[in-house]
Structure 1
């Protein structure tokens, strides 16, 4: 249990507490499936850098980044009441980052959904403690999974 707690702390905290750390946020460029991504740098607070990275992805690119053709389809698709008091919950354990949205995330069709999942995955996989990303909707189903079970992201059959 102690090792698991250490892995979570290392994944979401910088090496030197009290100092800002730079992180990458991956935005889409173009509209391919899943599309090209471009990393931009953000200065994160001294704690919760993985959470901060997802928040930045939701906030979207700056005006200057938009002028370079970068975009995020995620933020505008998150709507409704939260069941956890925030847009999402993020847990990192045993090499898996589990991102569960606490508000409804509306899909944009196959292309947009693929780009959203791709940018989330790339953004979270930058952290050494993260080897796999699982993205869940408000009900705990794999985000954008339209199958009856809704578990493709858990089984690896996406």
Structure 2
């Protein structure tokens, strides 16, 4: 099952040759939604979008952290996965849908905005991605506390 899931994710992610350079966008400062700075990583497999999100969760290297870069995402992901990984990712018709399979705890309005901004910037680097929809474990828009929980799908708050 895990192999099938991985094959599906790789098939639906932007595909590049192994060794492709991708950008991962980390936060700098405490602004709202904050400034992001790109760093480069070398993808070891052809699922470059998935790799970029994995690196965002992993966070900056020690040297990047000393430069003031950070990722608030990794430490906010907790609990059991319902898909065998931290997240699932599909890209279809210009929309990247990132669904977290573990609980992502909110980090306050500013922290939540910075998390969403880094995800958005990281995934929109790929030409096939025009829009990013980020969902929580239950399929609601991540950090959307409205009754509907659909603002990321419609673009309305």
Q: TM-score, normalised by structure 1?
A: 0.91
The corresponding residue for 2:155 is: 156
- Secondary structure of 1:90's counterpart equals strand
Unaligned runs of 5+ in 1: 1-7
Aligned residue for 1:132? 131
Alpha-carbon distance, 1:13 to partner = 1.0
Shift of residue 46, structure 1, vs aligned partner: 3.2
Partner of 2:36: 37
Q: Report the equivalent of 2:3.
A: none
TM-score under structure 2 length normalisation: 0.91
**Cα distance change, pair 49–22 in 1 and its aligned pair in 2 (3 A):** same
Q: How does 1:4-153 map to 2 (within 5 A)?
A: 9=11, 11-14=13-16, 17=17, 19-153=18-152
- The alpha-carbon deviation at position 11 of structure 1 amounts to 4.9
Q: 3-state SS of the aligned residue for 2:38? A: strand
Q: Cα 1:93–1:37, aligned 2, differ >3 Å: closer, same or farther?
A: same
Deviations 1:21-75 (A, max 9, x none): 0000000000100001000000002310000000000000000000000000000
CA-to-aligned-CA distance 1:89-114 (integer Å, 9 cap, x gap): 00000000000000000001100000
- CA deviation map 1:67-90 (0-9, x unaligned): 000000000000000000000000
- Matched residue pairs, number? 148
Q: Tell me the distance in 2 between the aligned counterparts of 1:46 and 1:56.
A: 13
